[in-house]
Amino acid sequence: MKDSPIKLSMTDKQAREYAASIPFDRRLYRQDIEGSIAHARMLARQEIIADREAEAIIKGLNSVRREIERGRFQFRTELEDIHMNIEARLFEKIGETAGKLHTARSRNDQMALDLRLFVKEEILKTIDKIKALQTALIELAGSNKGVVMPGYTHLQQAQPVLLAHHLLAYFEMFQRDKERFQDCLERTDVMPLGSGALAGVPYPIDRQFVARQLGFGKVSTNSLDAVSDRDFIIEYEAAAAITMMHLSRLAEELILWSSSEFGFIAISEAFTTGSSIMPQKKNPDVAELARGKSGRVYGHLMSILTIMKALPLAYNRDMQEDKEGLFDVVDTLQTSLEVFAGMVKSITVKSDGIAQAMKTDYMLATDLADYLVRKGLPFRKAYGVIARLSEYAMSKGKNFQELGRREYREFSVLFTGDVYDITLQSSVAARHVVGGTSPQQVAKALRRARRLIKE
């Protein structure tokens, strides 16, 4: 083994440690080695280095990879980053031939490559985890298709809806999230290697060959942009922030629904905790943590936007700050999606508790107004009639079904005996429009959701 000739100029120990990224960018070791192997193959193919040299480099890199994966690799802070740590170890293994690996590339395009490879992989994992959560929502909705619940606006009971319809609203949110990540993947799938430090490289390289080796669909078309672009990270974090917002909204409803005041659902003890002093309590900690973690992801998005907002072309060391936030966003989002999929599967719907919440039928006020409209009254007049009728019923402590026909007719002569056909079930069934809450439309929505999951 031979010592590496790599020497970095920063001599102050504290400054070196401040500048080093190896404590976190070591996570990119696999992408860095894959990129280096593809680069070595290309250099040999283009006769920039000899075949035997490329073979020695590739063999050495694979050996380094095994050392890292087995926990036997010594990461050195004085070598700053993952690139230099791997290259230094390669020198120790194969000698001066290792120095030929860095021909026709820079750490600038090397890091851009590593990050794009990483984000591509994590986008696909994220999409899979979103689909798992969507599947859990479909299963919960499908097994409770007949449950009618209060629909809310301003957190006030508004109109009855099917519980399945409410759950499928979150399916739609996560479907948009999935599409955002798919869209992000297209712009991440650009191979930057070959851009050099900023101006390209003076060697007859084959960038398309490297792109094919690494599974990229395109190569970058401007070297300055390629080494200084972090839009793909910003897009991933923006999509992640929106997904976490949707998780937080779902979390809030699960927290409310599982409370004693609502009593709509029970969350398994696997996803709740007890109180340290109140033995009767079951706290929805997982859902509460997701609400909190959404702010953490938002913070990382604001951080990368702030880092990039005034940087001149091309690479600047500020961009080293792109990684820690990205890694935390990836871990936070994916773990949250996994835990939520499990939690949703654990939910038991308490139909009796939901029915208790609808012991009054004042949510049918809009249906009564529509009833008068069908009898020929303009909607605004019908609205006024039902507003007065509702006040009257509440003052008497009666539901609409408990009002007598004479009481109805005191408010409008258009009321006849068929007014008693208006029920929570009839209200839901009447919303038979595309996207509505009728049982037929919800059944269609479930079929569509299952089809989208399979695509």
* Amino acid code (one letter) for 75: F
The rounded radius of gyration (Å) of the Cα atoms in the chain is 31
Query: Measuring CA to CA, which residue among 78, 100, 81 is closest to residue 90?
Result: 100
| Residue ranges in 189-230 assigned as alpha helix (H) | 207-214, 223-228
Distance of CA 7 to CAs 4, 10, 77, 92, 97, Å? 8, 9, 12, 14, 17
Query: Measuring CA to CA, which residue among 361, 249, 241 is closest to residue 301?
Result: 241
CB-based contacts of 14, cutoff 8 Å, min separation 6: none
Q: Residue 288: enclosing H or E segment and its boundaries?
A: helix 285-308
Which is catalytic among the residues 154, 260, 276, 395? 154
- Phi, psi dihedrals of residue 70, rounded to the nearest 5°: -95, 5
Q: Residue 78: enclosing H or E segment and its boundaries?
A: none
Which is catalytic among the residues 143, 259, 268, 275? 275
Q: Is the dihedral of CA 347, 348, 353, 354 positive or negative?
A: positive
Whether residue 180 contacts residue 239, with contact meaning beta carbons closer than 8 Å, is answered with yes
Task: Report CA 326 to chain centroid distance, whole Å.
Answer: 13
The question of whether 275 is a catalytic residue gets the answer yes
The question of whether 102 is a catalytic residue gets the answer no
Q: How far apart are CA 334 and CA 351, in angstroms?
A: 31
The residues with which 148 forms a beta bridge, in sequence order, are 162
Q: How far apart are CA 284 and CA 256, in angstroms?
A: 10
What residues act catalytically? 154, 275
